[in-house]
Structure 1
Amino acid sequence: MELLLLHALPLDGTMWAKQMDLLPGATHAPTLYDFGDNIGSWAENALSLTTAKRLVVVGCSVGGSCALEVTALAPERVQALILIGTKAWRRRDLAYHSSVLKMLNEEGLEFAWQKSWSPLLSPVASPETIERTKKIALRQSLEDVARGVKVFHTRPSRDDVLSSLSGPVAIITGSEDTAPGIEISRKQAVMARNGLLYVVPECGHYVPIEQPEVLNSIICRTLETA
């Protein structure tokens, strides 16, 4: 069994620092931006990092979308799926997509971080957590984040993966997260054949950084049942 950890926007693989020792030597946390400009390419390249026949795939936000795509590509290898702050169904919103790209290009990454992504953290997140998350975000290139925005807004809907996977599907949301939020997360857990909903108290969108111990417990529980 190996773990494949797929990061959120506008972060990178280092957001999983607190999860890397759960399966020592059998955990992969790539940074996805160089894998192409569409979710299929991201999934193919992420999957190519391991030859393991049994995978537990964990994704946060756009990383969750990538995890769904990995599962669509190799359902026989994915034993369990853990989705954090992820919406399987996509509603096309060209205006919002364009507005985020315009903000990045005209105002820069730090402004976009403060406007679009920093508010996704819990209001009770510690200053250290906020600073660490911001530091990861601001070391990305503007071009990489813009590519990630494109991948997120052009991904396909993958409700079918939730309803077809026979293994455990853990749907995780922070209690303070609105993207996609508790109600949509609950519906997705019901949609999955073997779904469980976890609502993490005092937590926003970036559960691996904000509440790593809680997430680690869920991952370990899922590994035991996969």
Structure 2
Amino acid sequence: MKAMILAAGKGERLRPLTLHTPKPLVRAAGVPLIEYHVRALAAAGFRELLINHAWLGQQIEDYLGDGARFGLSIQYSAEGEPLETGGGIFRALPRLGDQPFLVVNGDIFTDYPFAELRRPLAGLAHLVLVDNPAHHPQGDFCLQQGRLGDPLDGQASLTYSGIAVLSPRLFDGCQAGAFKLAPLLRRAMASGRVSGERFAGRWVDVGTHERLADVEQLLAGER
């Protein structure tokens, strides 16, 4: 199974750190955020990795190189224009092949065991969900008997973690350009073709200085 790290965001809420540094290279405990993913994916048995980038993306390529020092083969998908999540993945599909692949947001910090996702995919997508963080209390989807859907009145919801396994067939009928991933997922959910799981381990959406400080605290506790 191949893996893709989404690393094209500008990280505007992390300014001034991201004025001259792409968000995935912002450091926590002295290590770029994206490197935690790269090392975890390698340890989980992944060998082929694709990373998309836009804002200051050449710095990401310069830092990670071809991936050999991590035991990986890394390719890059440079985006000259904002493509959003769906458009960015669609552009990369020719290099991801015709089999399901793992996708992980480059701006999260987690200890999710990626090796658990290296298994056959039933349906079009499998999403990892987490308990709703304080900054996203309404959540995204409901999880019932392993299937995902939009929450109805009174149903408990969970938040999409930014970790998923996707089938290339999820993108059937899409056209090149900028588009969101969520409508594709909801279309597949309507036909019962999206599975999910709840992850109760460490997870931080590193979107602000405060949440970056949270990651620093987590890592300080390991020393």
**Structure 1-normalised TM-score?**
0.35
Structure with higher Rg: it is 2
Greater share of residues in strand:
2
**Structure 2-normalised TM-score?**
0.35
